[in-house]
Structure formats: C-alpha cells, structure tokens
Amino acid sequence: MVCTVVATWPFSLGPVTHCIEMLRDEKTSVSAAVVDAIRLVELDPDVHTVGSYSFPNSDGVLQLDAAIIEVSAGRHRCGSVMALEGFSGSIEAAFTVMTQSPHPILVGDGARKFVESHGLLPSQSPVPTMELPVAKSLNKPAGSHGNHDTVGLIAVRDGVITVGCSSSGKQGKHPGRVGDSPIFGSGLYAEGGVGAAVCTGDGDKMCSFPLAFSVVTLMRSGHTPQEACTQAIQYLLALPQGDAEIEIAVIACSVHGDVGAACSPKYLSEFTFAAGSAEHQAEVYFCQPRPE
C-alpha cells in the first residue's frame, strides 16, 4: 500500500503522524484524514498563523482562508473559502464547499452562510485530542512548534491524492486580504495520476505566480518531486516579482509517494517540513541537506 503524508513546518509533525494512522484504516477517506490532521494545527494554541489562535487583521477580526483538492482516477474536486469569520478554523469549511457546493470558491459572509446551512457551526467544532511526538531532523534539531505561516498537507494512498491548506494570512492584514494559500494553482494543486504540491511563504508575492501548478506540471512531464520543486522555485526567482529576499517554499508528493521540497535562499535556514509513510515514522526535515 502506498501511503505517504507530507506537510509544511514542524508544527505539522504530530498531525502528519495522526494522518498516517487514520489512513491505515481503509474505511477512512484520504480527504477526511487530511481535514482532521489540518484541524489539529488549527486548534494548536502554539500556532498563531493558522486557525483558532491566529493573529487578527487590522480591524481586530480573525479572517481565515483554506482550500482542499481531492483527485483520483477519473475524479477531481475542490473547495475553497476566503475571509471566513466566526470560526475556529477554515479547513472544514473548505471541505464542506468541496463536497456540498456547486461553486468551488466561496468568500466572506457568503461562505459563512453556506457552511452554516450545512451544519458547520461557528467555533463549535469538537477539539481532537492527541499526543504530539517530539520533532526530529535528519540534520539538526528543529522545534516541535513554530509560527511560520500556512499549514499545507498532502496525503497519498493507493492512487487517491488530497492536498489541503489553511491560513489566517499576515498579522494585521487589511480586512479582506487573501494570499496564495486558498487559490488553486498558486497555493496548492493536484492532478490525478501525477501528484500534488502546496506552498508557504509571502502570499502577496506568491499569488501572482502559479507555483503549485508549475510543480505538478513538471512532475507530469517526468521530473521527480524534488526536481520539480527546485526548478519551479528557480524559475519564480528569475521573474520580475521574484528576488533573493522573497520568503517562499513548496513541498510536493507524487502519486507513488515520492516527496520533494525546495525554498528560496531567504528560507534556507528556516523552512522545514514533516514527512512520513506507512513504513517510515514521520520526521521533520530541512528542505536541503545541512552539514552536521
């Protein structure tokens, strides 16, 4: 059985482990496991850029964004919510849009009304419980938690691929501001039979370039996830909107369970991701090798 999970930042280590355990049960859908894992990050009191404990916008209001894509042979569906208010997280809302709405994207009060009409109550979602394992790195210690922007998570099991992301955006952002995270092709993308990619970093600069789509396109053309991530980052940095100071990272996973990650020079000493599979315990890695 191919079962691989990869997610951005070390605060995702526990959720990645949790997701893998859920996927061992074939009755649990891949998307349900992804939503449950991201929900753990949204409810983590040590994370202030995703979900319940995030920093508000300039009006003092918490506005959340999230998106999810599910693909398999002959199936492709997606859902996104933007500037969602009144909820402790947004990934469940994005999942509700994906599964219940004829429209793949809903924003603001319209998104709130829709998900409420389908039984999702503001700030009433049950809090899952779990024990977070200690974060480990192949190269040097990494913190088990951090406040590093978007949580993006990819899960692959036997040909079914789901990628999801959740974010509150920048602290003190202008009301209504949306970055790349909930935008299909830019913040995340998946293609059946190929794989998926999800990004994190400076959403204002990233949303003008379809980074996630570019990574998956490169994978479709025969590149490994690592090659695809590296080439897409290099291409973006060479564009007018790209520069060495931009904070940007991307992770990817193929339908076969191979993983890749790359980041801009600005993120080189900071960006880490969590990855694991049914055969290998989840650990935290740097996106490039580091000397001991």
List, by residue number, the catalytic residues.
150
User: Exposed/middle/buried for 209, CB within 10 Å: 0-12, 13-18, 19+?
Assistant: buried
Whether 109 has a binding-site annotation, put simply, is no
CA distance 82 to 11: 23
Whether 134 has a binding-site annotation, put simply, is no
Contacts of 150 (CB under 8 A, 6+ apart): 8, 49, 50, 165, 166, 167, 181, 187, 198, 199, 200, 201, 203
Residue type, 75: R
Whether 44 has a binding-site annotation, put simply, is no
Whether 146 has a binding-site annotation, put simply, is no
CA distance 273 to 280: 15
Whether 216 has a binding-site annotation, put simply, is no
User: Exposed/middle/buried for 175, CB within 10 Å: 0-12, 13-18, 19+?
Assistant: middle
Helices (H) and strands (E) in the chain, counts: 7, 12
CA distance 215 to 235: 11
Whether 71 has a binding-site annotation, put simply, is no
- Decide: 192 and 75 in contact? Cβ < 8 Å: yes
- Decide: 278 and 131 in contact? Cβ < 8 Å: no
- Decide: 248 and 236 in contact? Cβ < 8 Å: yes
Whether 201 has a binding-site annotation, put simply, is yes
CA distance 275 to 24: 16
Whether 49 has a binding-site annotation, put simply, is no
Cite the annotated binding site by residue number: 177-180, 200-203
Cite the annotated binding site for substrate by residue number: 177-180, 200-203
